[in-house]
Structures are given as C-alpha cells and as structure tokens.
C-alpha cells in the first residue's frame, strides 16, 4: 500500500545514492545482506556516495531556496534496542551537490539486524513556501533503508577477556558466560562471555577466530557448544520463561526462547524440561548433536 503524506515530497530521482560499502583491512567492499564475520568487537566503518539536486528538491517540495534541509543517516540495532544519528550534513540549494557519507558505528552498540535509514529532513521552512509544502521541522522529504544481518545464523554476544585470578571464577577455566536474571532486559546488556587470559589455548583460538587453524577450530567448536548448553540450561531452569510469553524483540527472554526453538524445533520447551529431568544423559547427547560439537569448521 502506498503511503500518502500530508505535504509535497519530491520524486526519488532528486537523490542519487550509491550502494553502502564497508572499510576492511584489505580496503573497501560492498556491504552484504549478512556479515557472517561480524562480532561485538568489530567497529563498522561505513561509506556511501550520494548526490542531491538541492534546488530541484526544494522546488518540487513547494519550498523556497531559503529553506534549510539536511541529509542524515540514522541507525537502529534490534539486539541492543539502541538507535542514534550516525551522520548529518546540510544540503545547499544547488543543482547538484556531491556528498560522501562516512561514519563509524561501535560494535558494542550493535547486534542482531542493523537498519540504516538515509533521510532528507526539513530543518527550517523558509518564507514564501507553498501551502502544500512541509512546515514542521523534522518532516521527512525523502528516505531509504537498508537492513544488514550482523549475526548470520549464530547468536553472538559481547566477548571480553579477563584474568580469572582476579575474578571469582576457577583460574583454570577457559571461559565463563554471564547471564542476567531479568528476562525483560536487553539481551545485549544481559549476556557477556568472559575468556580467561591465563588459558593460552582458548585465548589463541579466540584471537585467531577470523582465520583459525584446525586446532583453533576444535577449541572454538567446544566454546560454541558450551555457550549453547549454558543458554539452553538457563532457559529450561527458569520457570518464568514460557514459550507463549510475548517478550519484546531484543530482550533476554526473546533471545533465550529463540535459542531453544532454533536448537530443538521438534520439541516443546516443556518436553525438553521433562527429558532433562528424566534422562539427562540423553538430553546431553541431544545438545551435542544440535551444537555440532567437533563436527567441523
């Protein structure tokens, strides 16, 4: 269904916006629909070329040349539930104005699906505008969106390193997954994977995750399987977590429910709880299967 606006908007061709790209250690590449190599330590450096006919935009919007308009980019991340203004510049009343869009987004603010919204927004309407023109500052004259899945098919969490000697965790352990109690809290702020700096094998594998050796792959496989186990255990041992609860997108409750559904699509949560209680060995084997423990890269 076509949306009808209460004011004039220019045609899409007043803006020529190129594709989004991201800066990588090897240069620049087009931004794909899914960033399978992304994690929370990755800062996204994004770029997009754009050209705007500022004069024609104002004329076809019923605005005068004195009207002030901005080109801006806003972002929203579904896992963190955070949003913000990434970039903005004023648009002059020129026939053609080339403007490169460049900004960075810190990884610890992101997660899930990242939405990039490019807008042309009225900042100040000038005198003498058409009665059909936008009059309120903040009116959107032109917009487009792109969504990027940052986590692929895997659930990723913030990862930090720490010396377990200084923490209340076993000093010989390789990692510890912290999970908060509040099911309604944002998942991004509720889960933290701590890697023990004293565990050389695990540290080496995590640091080489972008290009792991065969030995690193085995360690990472064990790490992923154990994280899945802890998330599933957390979900099944929480009596307040029920499949029919309508948790807000991006919340811890929604994430745990999704993890269990994705891991065991043929089982209800209640059936899994019963098996875990009555046949823990079978349940453990089922977890190994779904996590693909040591099954390969």
- Same domain membership, residue 170 and residue 43: no
Range with lowest mean pLDDT among 36-40, 54-58, 177-181, 194-198: 36-40
Please choose, from the candidates 195, 209, 198, 204, the residue with its C-alpha nearest in 3D space to the C-alpha of residue 158: 195
Q: Which helix (H) or strand (E) holds 275?
A: helix 269-278
Instruction: Check which CATH number belongs to the domain holding 71 and give it.
Output: 2.60.40.3880
Range of the domain at 60: 12-149
What is the rounded (10 degree) CA torsion for 49, 54, 60, 63?
A: 140
- Same domain membership, residue 120 and residue 47: yes
Phi, psi (5° rounding) for residue 80? -85, -15
pLDDT digits (tens, 9 = 90+) for 273-291: 999 999 999 989 988 888 7
- Same domain membership, residue 252 and residue 177: yes
Domain limit, last residue, from 119, 149, 179:
149
Domain limit, last residue, from 149, 169, 198:
149
64 within some domain:
yes
Q: If DSSP codes are grouped into helix, strand and coil, which group holds residue 252?
A: helix
Is pLDDT above 50 for 152?
Answer: no
pLDDT of residue 61: 92
Please choose, from the candidates 169, 182, 200, 154, the residue with its C-alpha nearest in 3D space to the C-alpha of residue 251: 182
Quick one: tokens of 26?
């090897």
From start to end of 15-158, where are the E strands? 15-17, 21-24, 27-30, 44-52, 68-77, 83-91, 97-105, 113-124, 140-149
- Residue 159 pairs in a beta bridge with 193
- Same domain membership, residue 286 and residue 163: yes
If pLDDT is split at 50, 70 and 90, which confidence band does 82 have? low
pTM over the 0.75 mark: no
Domain limit, last residue, from 96, 122, 149:
149
Domain count within the chain: 2
pLDDT digits (tens, 9 = 90+) for 9-60: 888 899 999 999 998 877 888 998 888 777 666 789 999 999 999 999 999 9
- Same domain membership, residue 43 and residue 140: yes
5 within some domain:
no
- Residue 74 pairs in a beta bridge with 85, 117
Burial class (CB in 10 A: 0-12, 13-18, 19+), 101: buried
- Residue 76 pairs in a beta bridge with 83, 115
From start to end of the chain, where are the E strands? 15-17, 21-24, 27-30, 44-52, 68-77, 83-91, 97-105, 113-124, 140-149, 159-162, 175-179, 191-196
- Same domain membership, residue 116 and residue 179: no
Buried b (16+ CB within 10 A) or exposed e, 140-166: ebbeeeeebbbbeeebbbbbeeeebee
If pLDDT is split at 50, 70 and 90, which confidence band does 157 have? low
The answer to whether the CB of 83 falls within 8 A of the CB of 145 is: no
């Amino acid at each position: 269904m076509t949306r009808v606006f209460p004011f004039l908007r220019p045609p899409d061709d007043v803006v020529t916006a190129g594709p989004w790209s991201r800066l990588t250690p090897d240069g620049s590449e087009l931004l794909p629909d899914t960033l399978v190599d992304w994690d929370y330590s990755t800062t996204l450096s994004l770029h997009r070329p754009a050209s705007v006919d500022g004069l024609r935009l104002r004329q076809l919007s019923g605005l005068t040349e004195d009207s002030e308009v901005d080109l801006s980019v806003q972002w929203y991340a579904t896992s963190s539930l955070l949003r913000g203004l990434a970039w903005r510049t004023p648009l002059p009343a020129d026939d053609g104005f080339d403007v490169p869009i460049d900004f960075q987004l810190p990884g610890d603010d992101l997660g899930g699906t990242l939405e990039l919204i490019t807008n042309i927004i009225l900042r100040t309407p000038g005198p003498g505008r058409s009665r059909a023109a936008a009059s309120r500052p903040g009116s959107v004259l032109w917009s487009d969106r792109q969504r990027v899945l940052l986590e692929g098919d895997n659930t990723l969490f913030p990862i930090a390193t720490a010396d377990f000697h200084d923490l209340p965790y076993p000093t010989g352990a390789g990692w510890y997954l912290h999970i908060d109690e509040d099911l309604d809290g944002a998942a991004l702020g509720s889960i933290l994977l701590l890697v023990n700096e004293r565990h050389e094998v695990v540290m080496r594998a995590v640091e080489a995750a972008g290009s792991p050796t065969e030995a690193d792959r085995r360690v990472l496989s064990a790490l992923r399987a154990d994280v899945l186990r802890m998330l599933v255990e957390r979900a099944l041992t929480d009596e307040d977590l029920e499949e029919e609860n309508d948790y807000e997108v991006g919340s811890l409750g929604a994430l745990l429910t999704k993890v269990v559904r994705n891991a065991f699509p043929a089982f209800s949560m209640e059936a899994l709880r019963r098996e875990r209680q009555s046949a823990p060995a079978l349940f453990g084997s089922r977890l190994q299967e779904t996590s693909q423990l040591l099954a390969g890269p």
